[in-house]
Chains A and B, each alone.
Chain A
Amino acid sequence: MKLLLALSTISFFNTALAATCVPAHEYFPFEGKWAAKNEQGEIILGMYSRMSPDGKYVLRSFSGQGLSQVTLMELVRGEKNSVKPYETSMKNEAFPVQGSWRYIIDIGGEHYKVSDIVKEQKKADKQFKGGITGFYTVAAELSGGTAANHKIRSLSWPTDNADNQGVGVLSNRVITASINKNGVASKIDNGSTNYMCANLRSSDGQTMSLPMISMDGAEFASMPQNPKDSEVSMRIYKFGADNKSCERVQDLKVAVAKVIFSRPELNAVLFYASGSMDNRGNGIYFFDRDVKKTFTLDDPDRKVRADSFPGFTNDGRIVYGAYWKECNDKGCSDKAGYVVSDPYQSADIKDFKMANPEAGKKFKECITDEDVAANSATQAKIWNYSL
């Protein structure tokens, strides 16, 4: 009897102390005046979305007539999840410095602090200008940086002629920036433009499409338009030490939309693809680079149709714009907004773990509220802009 009581007590404490899993899927529907429906009863999702490392914000372009061209959307968790927009003066396809999200960059290279956009919205002032400018540009903060000294690598195509811009030879530039004791950021080194991947001309060709940089700026993904040695497929490359050469490190072997990287420690990528003739999946796929498997994120009851711009949080959650159905006794209604999914709770990963117990150890049971809180606290320090 005493043993039973002791076991029950241990069990009780374990349960009480156990961290709580985040929901497998959280839904943040667009509601309010800014989310007015069009004549077809649909809400504009916007495009080119980028997710902040804590999952708090989504930066998106073309957000609908009720909003500025580029908006920062805050996902507000609560009893009733909601989305709060912040307007900006930026133009299509403004982009964040991935990894840290220390800045959001307008297409002209103007760097803005996230805290200024949240506080001042369209009136926010830029901190400095730098990096590669042009369409489809992406950027990331190189690892090891501090508020006082951090390097930002931007990646795109040269766009010296606005009427002749387009996919071609990739280029990148690394600038160095610093935040002073007053929280003001400035550029301290302008870097130089490096034209890339000439060493791969005979295998991958030099015309790269859909580039995306990794969170630490050490790698990038791109789909060579016309590779010489194989079929078209999305590939992951490492930036050479000279910032010019490229090393192919992984071939996903499939043609997909832009790849999004997790933080390096998780070693995974995300992408959108129309996929095979199945009823599984919502369009977003999760590829683990260690086990080399692709997983789906299903929530079959809601019939989620994701858009092409997913993102990872640093705690491993996956955020994406989507349309879905909310059904009850009275019928179903169509919704649009953002979905936050925990990949570790997906049926596909659970099936994999059951069939591959040893390899499955890489994947934890779930992402917890504690994980999310710790990650948010880390991100909040960056957004304090203090030394």
Chain B
Amino acid sequence: MFNQFVLGLTLMSVAQSVSAAEMAPWKNVPEMKCQREFEQVAQEKGWDKENYREQVAGAYNKTAYRNLSNKIGEWVEVQLITKSSPEVVLVQESTMTRFSFDKNCKVVSKNEAWPWHMEEVFAKKTTEDWSNDDLRTQVASGKQGMIYYWSPRFSYSVYDLPRAEKLAKKFGYEFISVVDPRASKEEVMGALDVMYKNAKMKKARQLASAKAYNRNVAVDLYMRSAFNHFPIVYVYNNKKIHSRWITGIMTDKGLKSMADEFSSELK
């Protein structure tokens, strides 16, 4: 019985000891090394002022938390490792810096390349790409708007593009669509062709903007879990982008309700 209790405690992962979206998720983590030194650095860097949301981590003994960034292009990711010292990944535009602690608990930082799976996607760039700068410009309008992120590899995200655009305008939102950068231009254009034909068959739906092709290489959206599913809609207002998003195809009423809620929270 005692052994089972001990086993139960052992199995309580770092993830179980803290809840999602909170400040300082490193508090109360058992057997964390260099905790005092880490908290000091976190205070100096301002990481303890951020709100964090849990992310899927790259190993069973890691738990990752990413801040709900208020500054486009800048992100803090805290990686808590069982019975070890934590690491922090700082993303600033295209620079990624990892902070870790040596055996004397002295902080060490080094710049790293993007993880290889990101490098595969974001290393290729074209003049038509839509970047963090474009995202900043879009959000800087100060108006309320929707960013519709779609992929030719998720057919519903293609078919619903014209309807989403029409609804956004009807509800008083700016609208821009950007596309999954993992898809080739041929895939994207092929999907748009099919969508246009589909839209013509369904007269109730209008055609999407001619600017539907914006190959999104804004790493900022990637950091907002944008690759998990398409379509995904981000809402912005008052020069800020909301930290939540809308996943999948919504009913007319549902899209308005959620977008309005997010938009009003940004005022």
Q: Tell me if chain B binds chain A.
A: yes
Contact B252 A352, beta carbon cutoff 8 Å: no
**Complex CA–CA separation, A283 to B56 (angstroms):** 10
**Complex CA–CA separation, A367 to B1 (angstroms):** 31
Extra A-B contacts (10), CB below 8 Å, given A225-B254, A296-B60: A38-B186, A47-B154, A223-B247, A230-B20, A233-B54, A257-B228, A273-B56, A274-B227, A296-B58, A307-B153
Q: A residues near B, CB below 8 A?
A: 38-40, 42, 44-45, 47-48, 61-62, 92-93, 135-136, 162-168, 207, 209-210, 223, 225-226, 230-233, 253-258, 271-283, 285, 291-296, 303, 305, 307-308, 348-349, 351-352, 355-356, 358-359
**Which of B37-45, B101-109, B113-121 forms contacts with chain A?**
B113-121
A351 CB contacts on chain B under 8 angstroms: 59-61
Give the number of chain B interface residues (Cβ < 8 Å): 62
Partner of A168, one of B205, B244, B254: B254
**Complex CA–CA separation, A252 to B13 (angstroms):** 12
Contact A275 B55, beta carbon cutoff 8 Å: yes
**Complex CA–CA separation, A81 to B76 (angstroms):** 43
Best-surrounded residue of A61, A210, A285, A293 (most CB of chain B within 10 A) = A293
Q: B209-226 interface mask toward A, CB cutoff 8 Å, 1 = contact, 0 = none?
A: 000000000000010011
What is the interface of chain A mostly: helix, strand, loop, or mixed? loop
Q: B residues near A, CB below 8 A?
A: 3, 7, 10-11, 13, 15-16, 19-21, 53-62, 64, 66, 77, 79, 82, 89, 91, 96, 115-117, 120, 153-156, 163, 184-187, 202, 204-205, 222, 225-229, 244, 246-252, 254-255, 258, 261
**Complex CA–CA separation, A282 to B116 (angstroms):** 10
Contact A348 B60, beta carbon cutoff 8 Å: yes
Contact B64 A209, beta carbon cutoff 8 Å: no
Contact A254 B244, beta carbon cutoff 8 Å: no
B77 CB contacts on chain A under 8 angstroms: 276-277
Contact B155 A61, beta carbon cutoff 8 Å: yes
Whether A255 contacts B61 in the complex (CB less than 8 A), given A231-B21, A277-B91, A359-B10, comes out as no
Contact A163 B228, beta carbon cutoff 8 Å: no
| Minimum C-beta distance from A290 to chain B (A) | 9
**Complex CA–CA separation, A296 to B61 (angstroms):** 11
Partner of A277, one of B115, B184, B226: B115
- Nearest residue (CB) in B for A233 is B20
B202 CB contacts on chain A under 8 angstroms: 162-163
B252 CB contacts on chain A under 8 angstroms: 164, 166
Contact B228 A305, beta carbon cutoff 8 Å: no
**Complex CA–CA separation, A377 to B258 (angstroms):** 49
